[in-house]
Copies of this chain bind each other. A is one copy, B any other.
Amino acid sequence: VNLLLVEASEVEPNRAVRVADRRARHLLRVLRVTPGQYVRVGIVDGPLGQGIVERTSDDAVELRCTFDEAMPSRPPVDLLLALPRPKVLQRLWAQLAALGVGHIALTNAEKVERDYFDTHVVTPETYRPLLIEGLQQARDTRVPTVSLHKRFRVVVEDELDAQFGRGIRLVAHPNAPHGVAHQVSATHATRALLAVGPEGGWNAFERELLRSRGFLEAGMGPRTLRSDTAAVALLALVHDALRFP
């Protein structure tokens, strides 16, 4: 953990913060903080800052904090992700937040099993702590927003334009002649919406619907990847293309 994230409600008016849960155990046992030491802190969906350790006990740490004026901007990449298997998604949440995603829209597709939508992995109680774990790793405060869409056609036809107006839209395809970087620089995009399909790929109807709504295909080579590997790989490519246009 490279950043101690706290909720706005945990910050007293005098900027004092007391943590007494697993964050405290991490500070005490792994980072071995002692009074007088500075720690990077951040407010969830708020600014970054730093805290000086004022007091420690066996299971709690008290800090006095200062925070920046501005908060970090939202990552310039959003994700339309065919709902992965629960076990895979469980592993993916923290990595998505660490790589940086503004919004995660989880969608159905032909090759997504319907009952994946009924598992605890898609509940805020499960994913929010994992997203925050990823943010603490990457030193960011902006929690990705998450939406669930049981009908692929509805989200793509009716909801994408309202939620993701600007920016380039990309979908990976094994044989596409151009890569992500080429597509991003050719369109001078500064934001991207990335569609990542299910393990078995989008079917012909889904692929055509994405194309009709402005998704450009980007080549990823012939290797079929598990959806978590594919999502991490594509997010890295898009972030890199936006960073080095």
Contacts and interface: CB of A to CB of B under 8 A. Distances in A.
A236 B239 contact: no
Contacts of A180: 240
Given A178-B244, A244-B179, A244-B182, A100 B223 contact: yes
Contacts of A223: 98-100, 138-140
A98 B237 CA distance: 17
A91 interface: yes
A111 to B, nearest CB: 13
Contacts of A224: 2, 98, 137-139
Contacts of A209: none
A154 interface: no
- How many copies of the chain does the oligomer comprise? 2
Interface in A131-167: 137-140
Contact of A237 (B100, B182, B225, B236): B236
A240 B240 CA distance: 11
A182 B182 CA distance: 12
Of A94, A224, A233, most buried by chain B (CB within 10 Å of CB) is A233
Contacts of A140: 223
Of A180, A239, A240, most buried by chain B (CB within 10 Å of CB) is A240
Interface residues of A, number: 35
Nearest to A234: B236
Contacts of A234: 236
A36 interface: no
Interface string A226-240: 100100111111011
Contact of A138 (B2, B91, B100, B225): B225
Contacts of A240: 179-181, 220-221, 237
A137 B236 CA distance: 20
A123 B219 CA distance: 35
21 contacts: A2-B224, A98-B224, A98-B225, A99-B223, A99-B225, A99-B229, A138-B223, A179-B244, A180-B240, A181-B244, A182-B244, A220-B240, A221-B239, A221-B240, A221-B243, A229-B232, A232-B232, A232-B233, A233-B235, A233-B236, A237-B240
Interface of A: 2, 91, 94-95, 98-100, 137-140, 178-182, 219-226, 229, 232-237, 239-240, 243-244
